[in-house]
């Protein structure tokens, strides 16, 4: 079995479900020691028990420096820490002017921005500093790589997605700057902007609605599978020439206003 991540460790935020869980599974299969950082209310412990002895769970919040540091310490203790995959994030419906004529909620907007933007920066800065302590593992001087998660909403946000779109656009904006900033330390940074994926977020959506969403994807006319996201993560971690890039993973969809 090909195990490109053998004798290395990875941190995956939001790894207890959906895209993060599929990524955790792929990296464990690839030989990595994986630490999942997710909320205490998540299925993180159960998930890691299923993934096996090279996976462990740290309950916490990506906005809390101490939580992220605990997860990074656990990853570094297991093996040289080289890989970050940041999947944690969420949205909330907010309009500039709500249907009843009231102004959109500033607190809801701020909460989404806090998690998606500040949370991403917090995890990225702490993880990059930890990777920078690790000896290079390639002749080029590469020490490791980071993958962030945006969304096609960063480019074509729909009505009601203004905080989510703004937050994900900020992650796209961080990507090249972060790659340039960390180049001298041999750390690469890329971002995936997924389209419509079959994750727990859509589990609450009626099947008829899910079928309509799937049909809106040009090709393949279906929802993306989390395993397809994980495959791209693996490529972004392995391929040294992929750096500073945001890649849409969306079946060529371009979101409509609503």
**Which residues are known catalytic residues?**
164
Burial of 142 (0-12, 13-18, 19+ CB in 10 A): middle
Residue 85's SS3 state is strand
Please report the DSSP string for 166-204 in residue order. HHHHHHHHHHHHHHHHHGGGTEEEEEEEE-SB-SHHHHT
Q: How far apart are CA 55 and CA 127, in angstroms?
A: 18
Q: What residues pair up with 13 in beta bridges, in sequence order?
A: 37, 86
Q: How far apart are CA 38 and CA 68, in angstroms?
A: 10
Structure tokens that stand for 241 in this block: 């020439």
The answer to whether the beta carbons of residues 73 and 48 sit under 8 Å apart is no
Nearest CA among 128, 202, 197, 195 for reference residue 168: 195
């Amino acid at each position: 079995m090909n195990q490109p991540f053998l004798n290395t460790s990875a941190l995956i935020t939001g790894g207890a479900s959906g895209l993060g869980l599929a990524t955790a599974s792929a990296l464990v299969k690839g030989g990595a020691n994986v630490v999942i950082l997710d909320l205490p209310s998540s299925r993180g412990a159960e998930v890691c028990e299923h993934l096996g002895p090279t996976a462990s769970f740290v309950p916490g919040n990506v906005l809390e420096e101490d939580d992220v540091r605990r997860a990074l310490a656990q990853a570094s203790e297991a093996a040289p820490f080289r890989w970050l995959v940041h999947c944690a994030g969420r949205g909330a419906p907010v309009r500039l002017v709500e249907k009843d004529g009231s102004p959109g909620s500033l607190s809801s907007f701020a909460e989404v921005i806090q998690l998606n933007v500040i949370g991403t920066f917090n995890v990225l800065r702490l993880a990059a500093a930890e990777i920078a302590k690790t000896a290079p593992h390639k002749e080029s001087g590469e020490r490791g790589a980071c993958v962030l998660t945006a969304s096609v909403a960063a480019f074509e946000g729909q009505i009601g997605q203004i905080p989510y779109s703004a937050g994900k656009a900020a992650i796209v904006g961080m990507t090249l700057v972060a790659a340039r900033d960390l180049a001298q330390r041999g750390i690469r940074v890329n971002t995936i902007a997924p389209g419509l994926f079959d994750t727990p977020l859509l589990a609450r959506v009626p099947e008829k609605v899910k079928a309509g969403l799937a049909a809106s994807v040009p090709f393949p006319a279906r929802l993306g599978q989390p395993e397809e996201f994980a495959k791209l993560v693996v490529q972004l971690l392995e391929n040294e020439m992929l750096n500073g890039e945001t890649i849409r993973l969306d079946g060529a969809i371009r979101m409509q206003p609503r």
